[in-house]
Amino acid sequence: MDYSQFLVMYQEIGLLVLILLVFLFDTFSSKEAPRGLSMFTVVLFGLLTLAGFVTPCCKEVASAFGGMYVTSPTMVAIKNVLNIGVFIVLIQAKGWAHSEFMRVRRGEFYELLLITLFGMYLMISARHFLLFIIGLETASLPLAALVAFDKNRYESHEAAVKYMLTAVFSSAIFMMGLSFVYALAGTLYFSDIAASVIDGGAMLIVAVAFVIAGMGFKLSLVPFHLWTADVYQGAPTSITSYLSVISKGAAAFAFFVIMVQVFGPFYNQIWEWMLYALIILTITVGNLFALRQKNLKRFLAFSSISQAGYIMLGVIAGSAQGLGSLIYYILVYIFSNLAAFGVIQSIESKTGRVDMDSYNNLYSTNPKLAFTMMLAMFSLAGIPPFAGFFSKFFIFSTAVASGSVALYILVLIALINTIISLYYYLLVVKAMFINNQEDCVIAPFKSSVSDRLGMWICVAGIILAGIVSCIYNGIVNTSVHNPEYIFTIFAN
């Protein structure tokens, strides 16, 4: 066996080494000084994230295990984007991890979190469905344990049961679809499936529908979204933030690869209209249900459902520009959503409240938190000049670049829904800045250093990503149909 092929998996190997070091530190460190584990994990993962940008190991496409695993500068860039998000989550979770409740389970939290990231790495680089399933389950099953981490809350247990049942059910549907694919193609290699299946007829339609349904659960696409709000509300806020951006981002990247590389030849005949309907339903239902929410975690749950619909515009474009726009959208979404969750977690840790009414006149007592939440809401809504505007602009431009009348209509519907979303995002801003002084229920307080650091990184990302967009793309000088230029800074 040629062990040199493991060097191709240097990002996965690095992450496994980190997981082992965290496990050993947690096992053998002095119980009188357990807080060192958080700093140890954050610092090492920060170094791992930095190494992803500077390591010159992958300048071209490389494969391992007979082509089951593939890496390239694009794959490295995608993993780097996820690493940025996980690094912010680890920083923001530091205060929660230091609570007395977490004293004896702090190590399990970090280990399970990093194991799920390892599974997502495999999902992104897999070019064989066997390896993809291993990555999918490695990413999904530990998340159920993380959702149930707050064992003293009934809501956390309920959320974990719903997530577990949904994960198992969606995986079963996905693998049922793969059984049809294997019956048609006789192989599970992505490239071989596309070459082997000439005309599968009804069986191919069923296979594609099952695969889309299975991945739709992971992405919270309507009508596979019903678990999302309950799980987001019941899980600890640090886990909810991880679910909302990292898990969704990895699933979106993997979904793009599957639909384009495996089922790309059947775009016009089969899956374009399936995804077309799902995008309209997802954006519309997510926006309409978000209008009714008063709990901010449920509010962001339905917001994330609608955002998943926008992300799918990059998938339905099915091009290199679509992948570039999708990567950028996920990056901006990471900064924006984690900024919002950073504010929610900071206030929840001090007051125990996550309802929107408790944010009334927040600006008068905690102006920095109010400003951070305002930037997050403006970016999620797509208000210029913040990064969220450019992410929507690029993904809409990519979708209409094909010139298809159907995609023009789809983008028009998405634009109308964007206007609807402005209302509920601005409700949060109104509560913080406009509502009466006497309605204020949160007294002035100072957030923890880790919370402030995480929010500073997010705010910087929201602002700088918009500036980078102007420099690297067509708003100023170049073609709007080449947003992938922005992501050269993420690849080696």
Phi, psi (rounded to 5 degrees) for 453:
-65, -45
Confidence of residue 82 (pLDDT cuts 50, 70, 90): very high
Q: Which two tokens stand for residue 349?
A: 């840790």
Average pLDDT across the chain, whole number: 83
Residue 476 near residue 470, CB atoms below 8 Å: yes
What's the confidence (pLDDT) of residue 338?
93
Flag the least confident range among 232-241, 360-369, 468-477: 468-477
What's the confidence (pLDDT) of residue 471?
64
> Cα–Cα distance between 185 and 385 in angstroms, integer?
48
Confidence of residue 6 (pLDDT cuts 50, 70, 90): confident
> Cα–Cα distance between 166 and 169 in angstroms, integer?
5
Angle at 424 between CA 253 and CA 367, to 5 degrees: 95
User: Quick one: CA dihedral 256, 259, 262, 264, positive or negative?
Assistant: negative
> Cα–Cα distance between 275 and 281 in angstroms, integer?
10
pTM of the model as a whole = 0.90
- Express each pLDDT in 391-430 by its tens digit: 888 888 888 887 678 888 888 999 999 988 898 899 888 8
- Express each pLDDT in 321-372 by its tens digit: 888 888 889 999 999 999 999 999 888 888 778 888 888 888 888 888 889 9
What's the confidence (pLDDT) of residue 133?
92
Report domain extents, the chain.
4-485
Q: Which two tokens stand for residue 409?
A: 């209509």
Long-range residue pairs from 151-159, CB within 8 A, at least 24 positions apart, any chain: 152/101, 153/234, 155/233, 155/234, 156/234, 156/235, 156/236, 157/234, 158/230, 158/234, 159/230, 159/231, 159/232, 159/233, 159/234, 159/235
Residue carrying structure tokens 């596309």:
194
- Express each pLDDT in 25-50 by its tens digit: 888 876 655 568 888 888 999 999 88
What's the confidence (pLDDT) of residue 387?
84
Specify whether the backbone of 403 is left (phi greater than 0), alpha (psi in -120 to 50) or beta. Answer: left
Q: Which two tokens stand for residue 470?
A: 């102007």
| 116 has a pLDDT exceeding 90 | yes
First to last CA, the chain: 28
Tell me what percent of the residues of the chain surpass a pLDDT of 70.
89
> Cα–Cα distance between 243 and 151 in angstroms, integer?
18
